[in-house]
């Protein structure tokens, strides 16, 4: 027989997973209100590019992401959760792919001063750079008034790989895949309602 506390833990795990995936949608669609909704007002985000109050981080990163990246995707894979004393401690594996416009200013801001000299842009056949980053979100989630949100987030980087991008959008089979993701409310996901 399943106990009441086991059921409660299952529900809590599902609600926390929902928060973690909502963060990714908020970031990749540049949805500031959605991102603010995943953090408690006094939450802390130790993100590296920003460390401090998570509501302020939200405003910072939603503006930043549209400035740095042509597109950003944040895929979380395995999510390990530990439920201790009514709090959830989670580790979410992240694989992120982002694309950067090849202007000296943007590339140097994202990749630093030496990357441009290491690649041969003329031979890359494209004017964008792409990178994969692997890392982990280490989170503490708290329940207040029945609702789960992140109270503390730490970002760990494990690896990254940076290369000239070779996207195809207008030729071959890719041409027919005409529904494309974007920043903002025009992305198809916002129209996905019953």
The H or E element containing residue 113 is none
Closer to other proteins by Cβ: residue 157 or 189: 189
Strand order in the sheet with 128-144: 51-53, 39-46, 147-164, 128-144, 87-101, 71-84
CB 119 to other proteins: min, Å? 13
C-beta of 113 vs 170, nearer to other proteins: 170
| Contact yes or no for 150/139 (Cβ under 8 A) | yes
What minimum distance in Å lies between the beta carbon of 75 and other proteins? Answer: 4
DSSP state of 189: G
Residue whose CB is less far from other proteins, 52 or 163: 163
Positions that interact with other proteins (CB under 8 A): 4-5, 7-8, 10-11, 14, 18, 20-22, 24-25, 28, 71, 73-77, 86, 95, 97, 99, 123, 125, 130, 146, 165-181, 187-189, 192-194
Residue 4 neighbours by CB under 8 Å, 6+ apart? none
Q: How far is the CB of 179 from other proteins (least distance, A)?
A: 5
CB of 76 to other proteins, least distance (A): 5
Closer CB to other proteins, 20 or 61, in the complex: 20
CB closer to other proteins, 53 vs 95: 95
DSSP for 114-169, please give it: SHHHHS-HHHHSSSEEEEEEEEEEEEEEEEETTEEEEEEEEEEEEEEEEEE----S
Q: Closest approach of Cβ 8 to other proteins, in Å?
A: 5
Cα atoms found within 13 Å of the Cα of residue 6, Cβ hemisphere only: 3
Which residue's CB is nearer to other proteins, number 113 or number 146?
A: 146
Instruction: Work out the burial of residue 193: count CB atoms within 10 Å of its CB; fewer than 13 is exposed, 13-18 middle, 19 or more buried.
Output: exposed
Q: Can you tell me the distance from the alpha carbon of 137 to that of 90, in angstroms, rounded to the nearest whole number?
A: 8
């Amino acid at each position: 027989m399943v106990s009441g506390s086991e059921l409660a833990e299952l529900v809590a795990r599902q609600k926390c997973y929902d928060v973690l995936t909502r963060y990714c949608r908020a970031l990749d669609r540049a949805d500031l209100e959605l991102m603010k909704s995943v953090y408690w007002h006094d939450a802390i985000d130790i993100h590296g590019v920003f460390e401090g109050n998570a509501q302020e981080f939200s405003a910072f990163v939603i503006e930043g992401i549209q400035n740095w990246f042509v597109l950003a995707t944040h895929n979380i894979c395995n999510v390990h959760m530990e439920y201790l004393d009514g709090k959830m401690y989670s580790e979410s594996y992240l694989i992120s792919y982002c694309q950067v416009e090849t202007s000296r200013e943007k590339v140097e801001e994202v990749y630093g001063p030496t990357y441009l000299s290491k690649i041969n842009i003329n031979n890359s056949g494209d004017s964008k750079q792409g990178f994969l980053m692997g890392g982990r979100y280490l989170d503490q989630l708290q329940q207040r008034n029945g609702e789960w949100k992140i109270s503390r987030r730490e970002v760990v980087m494990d690896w990254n790989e940076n290369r000239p991008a070779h996207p195809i959008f207008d030729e071959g089979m890719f041409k027919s895949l005409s529904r494309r993701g974007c920043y903002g409310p025009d992305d198809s996901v916002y129209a996905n309602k019953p």
